[in-house]
A and B are shown apart, each in its own frame.
Chain A
């Protein structure tokens, strides 16, 4: 099935360069995609699910209904969007009682969820459907760069439902990054959270920041020149967070789509680095 680009919130409204880079790499790699129209916030899993699970599920299911009506598999570019849509689809597909309850809410507010959604994350889509070899062949600008790969949380976990890679020692993202010629460095707490999730950034910013500090310090100690993540919310936390941490925090933060765009020879001016607080001078 054709994939439908699900934008979410942070990419289009805070870091549009992530959206621009994504569209361009999909074109270069020959991926047939459309825009998923009429979508809303996924909604953000850590916050909305913490506040009211029924509202979270109804809003997420409404997005899945839009995709079904447009004949598209949602292609997410954010771990939060992926987490919400994937997990909502899982609940709707496996819990009949819940599905009936949510469909009653959606009756005059988005349409009926008819079942079996195939929610995709751009990193696993690139790995499984495009392939690392094809990406490597398309590289025009081989990167000589040491990268701290940050997986984030809702991309691979809960692994028993998502089944993408080992959540403790994954390699999928490192393999994509290394296809550009870059080196993925190992660093302490590589699998740890950026700190932003679960409403911690919005509700307890200083706690989130301490987790960000730990990750950036560890990446720096390992000799990384930049942080690459497949999630605009982690991206925002690392980028804005380092500005808040202040002196000595200047590690560029790059979304996976932006890194691939650089390697595929796409004009840097179309990657929106001016929205970043930490300058991207690579």
Chain B
């Protein structure tokens, strides 16, 4: 294994962001043995938790493997120490995004939520099918309630999510983000 320079600050950050149970892990590997991603990819749950414990910041934040967890929660169900492993992974993913590591597909999903308040873009073909099924053309969500869509944009501005994904919102103009 490569040289490890432990970074206790990183470990503390993971713990503070939802990884409170991190240090309960005694590395039994039940998580890896229960994980479909670990069966199929280079992601190994036990190893990811160990890297968090050791504070291997650089290796964790730039790791593609970190994004192969489907958040199925099987590891959490089976962990004999009650470690909230998805919580540890969410914390590390949040820190990775803050450090600028975000897949293009993930940026697109985020932009859809900022723009429409929904994770997928409504399409004309879908609207036609809705009508044929006797449904209202546009469901009564934030798509038809403009004030609701403004709530979404305000929330994103306040948490800084818009800037996080490189799509700052100009609330002053009340403009629809393109």
Query: What is the interface of chain A, defined by CB distance below 8 A to chain B?
Result: 7, 9-10, 12-14, 16-17, 19-20, 23, 35, 37-41, 43-55, 58-59, 62, 66, 105-106, 108-110, 153-154, 157-159, 167-168, 189, 191-193, 195-200, 202-205, 207-208, 210-211, 214, 270, 272, 274-275
Contact between chains at B164 and A52 (CB < 8 Å): yes
CB-CB nearest in chain B for A274: B129
The B108-164 residues at the A interface (CB cut-off 8 A) are 108-110, 113, 117-123, 126, 129-130, 133-135, 139-142, 145, 147-152, 154-156, 158-159, 161, 164
Contact between chains at A193 and B120 (CB < 8 Å): no
B67 close to chain A: CB less than 8 A: yes
Contact between chains at B119 and A37 (CB < 8 Å): no
**Smallest distance from the beta carbon of A86 to chain B beta carbons, Å?**
12
Residues of A contacting B109 in the complex (Cβ-Cβ under 8 angstroms): 44, 47, 199, 202
Contact between chains at A40 and B70 (CB < 8 Å): no
Residues of A contacting B17 in the complex (Cβ-Cβ under 8 angstroms): 53
Question: Which of A43, A202, A207 is B108 in contact with, Cβ under 8 Å?
Answer: A202
Query: What is the interface of chain B, defined by CB distance below 8 A to chain A?
Result: 17-18, 36-37, 40-41, 64, 67-74, 76-77, 89-91, 93-94, 97, 102-103, 105-106, 108-110, 113, 117-123, 126, 129-130, 133-135, 139-142, 145, 147-152, 154-156, 158-159, 161, 164-165
Contact between chains at B70 and A198 (CB < 8 Å): yes
Q: Once the chains are docked, how many angstroms separate the CA of A163 from the CA of B119?
A: 28
Contact between chains at B151 and A12 (CB < 8 Å): no
State the majority secondary structure of interface residues on B: helix
Residues of A contacting B129 in the complex (Cβ-Cβ under 8 angstroms): 16-17, 272, 274-275
Residues of B contacting A51 in the complex (Cβ-Cβ under 8 angstroms): 93-94, 97, 102, 106, 110, 161, 164-165
Residues of A contacting B150 in the complex (Cβ-Cβ under 8 angstroms): 109
Contact between chains at B155 and A55 (CB < 8 Å): yes
**Smallest distance from the beta carbon of A190 to chain B beta carbons, Å?**
12
Q: Once the chains are docked, how many angstroms separate the CA of A19 from the CA of B139?
A: 10
Residues of A contacting B40 in the complex (Cβ-Cβ under 8 angstroms): 207, 210-211, 214
Contact between chains at B36 and A58 (CB < 8 Å): no
Contact between chains at A105 and B155 (CB < 8 Å): yes
**Most chain A CB inside 10 Å of its own CB: which residue of B76, B105, B123:** B105
Q: Once the chains are docked, how many angstroms separate the CA of A208 from the CA of B113?
A: 22
Contact between chains at B130 and A16 (CB < 8 Å): yes
